[in-house]
Structure 1
C-alpha cells in the first residue's frame, strides 16, 4: 500500500498543481513510483485519457511528470463550468449531469465513494500518491459534504501540507488564519507548511517562518522562490494564459468567457517568431493581426453571443476582407459556420443560431460527447499530427470538401475557397513539432523548437528547484499510509 500526502492551499492559485508536478518528477528521480491525484477539480481545460475519459489538464501534466499515462482515476470528479451558476459534472471520466451549484452541493456526498475508489486503485499501483486539494480548506462554509480538501483527507486518512502564496501578500495571515478557523480535527491533519512564489532573498523571510511555526506548531518544509520557467508548462487556468507580444507573425486570440482546452496556445506561445496575444473582452481585434485564432469553448452558443456583443464579428469580417487568416478549433470551428443547431437544448433553450458565416458548414449539437486520442495526417504536407477530440456536435457542409486533416479513413476540418479560413475539431495539434513547422512555414515563419522536449526539460528544472528549496525527506517522513 502506498504512502500518501495531500497538498492543500491557503487560497486559490497558490501553485498546488505545479508543486505536485514538480514533486512527482523529483520523487520519480529518487526511484519512487508516484501517482498524482485530485479528487475534485474545476476546469474547462481537460485532457483525454487512454481509457477514453477526461480529466483536468493539470493532472495530465502531473501524470507526465510522474512518468505515467493519464488515467481517469487521477481526477475522478471534474466540474466544467457552463454558466456562472452551473457546470457539467464528469465522474471517473464520463459526463453524468449538468448541475447548478446548489444542486451539486447536495450531490457531493454521493461522489465521495467514486473518489475513494479511484484513490484506492492508484494506491495499489504506486509507492507514493500525491494528492492535490482544490481552492482552500479555509472555506469552512463548504466543509459539509466536502470531497476536495479536508473532507477527502478525513475519509482517506491522509495528512496535509498547507501552502501559502507570498506573492499576493499576507502569507502569515493566510497560514495562521487557516489554522485558526478550521475545526480542531481538520487543523490537526495539517503536519507542515510551505511558502511559495517568493521573490528575492529567501533569508529575508526567516522571521516570517518563525512567526508561522510559533503560532501553528507546524514545521516549515521550505520557502520556495518564484520559478521563472513556469510559463513553459501548460497553463491550467484561463487566467494563467500568457500573452507573448513580440515582433513577428501576429496571432490574436479573443478571450472567450467559457474558453476550453486552450492548451492549443502553449506551443505557439513558445515560438520566438510568433506574437500570440490574448484579446480581452471590450478590446477590438487588432487591425494589423496576421491571424485570428478562435479557441475552444465549453458553451459555444453563449460565447458566440458574447463574441458579437464585443463587436468581434465586425472586426473578424474586416480582418478577412484585408486578406487575414483565421483558424477555429472545436467551438471556434463551430462558430465560423453558417448555423449552430441545438435541437435538444444542450446549451440552453432548444433552437438554432446563425454562425459567423465564414465557413459553409453547419453544426448540430448531439447528446453524445466525442472523446478520443487521435492521430491524423496534415494533408498539405503529409506530416503526422497527434492530438485529441473532445466535443459535442457534428459539423458538415460544402467546405468540408476542403478538409485539411485525415484521421484514419475519414477527413477532418474545413476551409473556405481562399484557404485563409480554416477550422477543425482536433485539439493539441500544434504540439506536433513537424506539423507546426510545416503549418507556420506557409506564413513565412520558421520553427525549429522541440516543444515536448522543452516541457520535459522544464519539469526536470522544476524538480531540481523543489529539491533545492524544499525538505523532501521531511515530506516523505510526514506521508502516511491511508486508512480508508
Structure 2
C-alpha cells in the first residue's frame, strides 16, 4: 500500500513524550511494507551518540530508527548534533564532524548556517527515499526559541510538511499539554498539525473517550491513536539516564553518574542480564559495595573527575580494588583511571592538567582530533570477540598499555593493571557482543550460563512498537483519503 506522505514530522508536547519511539515504530511498519523509509532529526542535543557507516557521529536515537528502517545509520539522518560540555556550552557537530564549541548565545546566532546544513541533508534523503520521517526536538511550544528555529516548526515550515503532535499521558495533564502547545503556535503552524497521538496509556480506554471527544471538539483535530504503555522494551536511550535499576541477580555492578556522562547505553546489556544487579549511582547517594565498578564515558572528563573525587569515589575505588573488586573504565572513565589528564589547548574547558585516580599506569593528553570509528576485534584477557565503536578526543600512553585489553585490526587497544584488577578501554558498546560480554563478566568474577543478545532484544522491541502503532498507520491513510 502507498503511504500518503513523502515527509511527515513527529513533534512532542514535551521532551520524552515518545517522538523517538513513534518515528521508530513508523519506520518499522513502512519497512515491513517494503517502502524505502529513512529517519531524520534536524537537530539533536544528546550525549548518547553513535558512529555511522560514513565515519561520522549522530544521535543514538537516529541510529536506532535506522535499524528500525532496515538501513545503515548515516550522518544525513542527524545533520546537527549538540553535545553539552557545560550548562551553557556544547560541542557542535555538523554532518558528523566537530565544527566548534559554542555557548548558547553564539549557537543561536549560528542557526541560519546550521539550517543550511539541515536542508542539504534533507534534500539528499528526499532524493533517495520514498518517505522521510522527521523527529522534532523538545517542544514546539518553546516560544523563546521560535526565532531561527531549525528543530521543530521552523523546519516544518521550511519544507512544508505535515506534523503529528504526540503527548505522554503517563506524565499527567495530557489535554493541557496538547491544548497549551497549540495555543503557543502561530496559525500556520497550528494548521500543519494533522492530528494527535496520546502515548503510554494504561487503563480502561472507555474512561478516556469523553476526554478524546472534548479534545477533538475544542481543536478541530483528530486523535489519530492512543498507544499503550509497553513494559520491558529494550531500546537505546536518546539521552536521559534511566532511573530504574535492574536488581535482577546477585552479581553487583555499580556505575557512577557524573553530570556529563556519555553513551550510558554501554550498560544496556548489563541491565538486561538476569544474573546482574546493576545500579547507577547519582550525587548524594551512598556508594554500595559491589563486585564490579564501571567508570562511564564523559563529555567533560576533567570536570567529571572532580565530581567523582568530591563525591567520594576515589576512596571507594581504592578500597574496592584493595579487597579484590574489579574496575573497568570506558573512554573518559579510562582516562580518569590514569595518573594525569592534560588539556593544554582547552579542548574541554579551561586548559591545564588534572591528577587522575592513579589506578592505571597511563597519562592522557586531550587533542582536537576526534576519533570516530566502528571497530571489531578479539579479547586478549580471555576468549571472545568484541564489536564496538570509538568516539574520543585524546591519546593515552604508559606502561599499562603493554597489557592491552583488545586486539583491534591487529593493533593493541586499552590497558590493564599489573595485578589484572583494573582495565580501561576506549571502546563503547564493549558488552553488546555476547562473547565479549561473557568474557568481561568472567574476568570480573561472574561465571554465568546466560547470554544477552542485545541485537535480538532490540529487534523484538522494535517489532512490539510497530505492532502497537499499527492503528496509527491506518489512521494516517484514512486521514489523507
Equivalent residues in 2 for 1:268-283, closer than 5 Å: 268-283=270-285
Asked if 2 retains the 8 angstrom alpha-carbon contact of 1:235 and 1:241, the reply is: no
Asked if 2 retains the 8 angstrom alpha-carbon contact of 1:284 and 1:310, the reply is: no
CA positional deviation for 1:43 = 0.2
1:313 paired residue number: 314
1:142 paired residue number: 145
Asked if 1 retains the 8 angstrom alpha-carbon contact of 2:343 and 2:367, the reply is: yes
Q: Which of 247, 250, 267 is the aligned partner of 1:248? A: 250
SS at match of 2:226: strand
Q: Could you give the per-residue CA deviations for residues 154-210 of structure 1, whole angstroms, max 9, x where no partner exists?
A: 001110010111111111111111112211111111111110111212222101111
2:354 paired residue number: 353
CA positional deviation for 1:479 = 7.5
CA positional deviation for 1:140 = 1.3
Q: Does 1:84 align with 2:91?
A: no
Q: Could you give the per-residue CA deviations for residues 361-390 of structure 1, whole angstroms, max 9, x where no partner exists?
A: 000001100110011211133422110000
CA positional deviation for 1:2 = 7.2
SS at match of 2:469: helix
1:439 paired residue number: 440
CA–CA separation in structure 2 for the residues paired with 1:85 and 1:479: 43
Asked if 1 retains the 8 angstrom alpha-carbon contact of 2:341 and 2:355, the reply is: yes
Asked if 2 retains the 8 angstrom alpha-carbon contact of 1:3 and 1:479, the reply is: no
CA–CA separation in structure 2 for the residues paired with 1:478 and 1:138: 25
Equivalent residues in 2 for 1:282-321, closer than 5 Å: 282-286=284-288, 288-321=289-322
Q: Which runs of 5+ in 1 are unaligned?
A: none
CA–CA separation in structure 1 for the residues paired with 2:101 and 2:424: 28
* Runs of 4+ in structure 1 over 4 Å off: 476-480
Equivalent residues in 2 for 1:83-102, closer than 5 Å: 83-102=86-105
Asked if 2 retains the 8 angstrom alpha-carbon contact of 1:159 and 1:479, the reply is: no
Asked if 2 retains the 8 angstrom alpha-carbon contact of 1:284 and 1:311, the reply is: no
What do you get for the CA RMSD once the two structures are aligned? 1.5
Sort the Cα spacing of 1:233 and 1:258 in 2 relative to 1 into closer, same or farther, 3 A: same
CA positional deviation for 1:50 = 0.6
2:155 paired residue number: 152
Q: Which runs of 5+ in 2 are unaligned?
A: none
1:392 paired residue number: 393
Asked if 1 retains the 8 angstrom alpha-carbon contact of 2:339 and 2:358, the reply is: yes
CA–CA separation in structure 2 for the residues paired with 1:174 and 1:239: 24
Q: Could you give the per-residue CA deviations for residues 248-291 of structure 1, whole angstroms, max 9, x where no partner exists?
A: 110000011100011110011111011110001112321x2001
Asked if 2 retains the 8 angstrom alpha-carbon contact of 1:2 and 1:123, the reply is: no
The count of aligned residue pairs is: 476
Q: Does 1:257 align with 2:259?
A: yes
CA–CA separation in structure 1 for the residues paired with 2:20 and 2:119: 20
2:109 paired residue number: 106
Q: Could you give the per-residue CA deviations for residues 400-437 of structure 1, whole angstroms, max 9, x where no partner exists?
A: 11112011121011111111111000111111011112
2:16 paired residue number: 13
Return 4-13 or 440-449, whichever deviates more.
440-449
Sort the Cα spacing of 1:478 and 1:74 in 2 relative to 1 into closer, same or farther, 3 A: farther
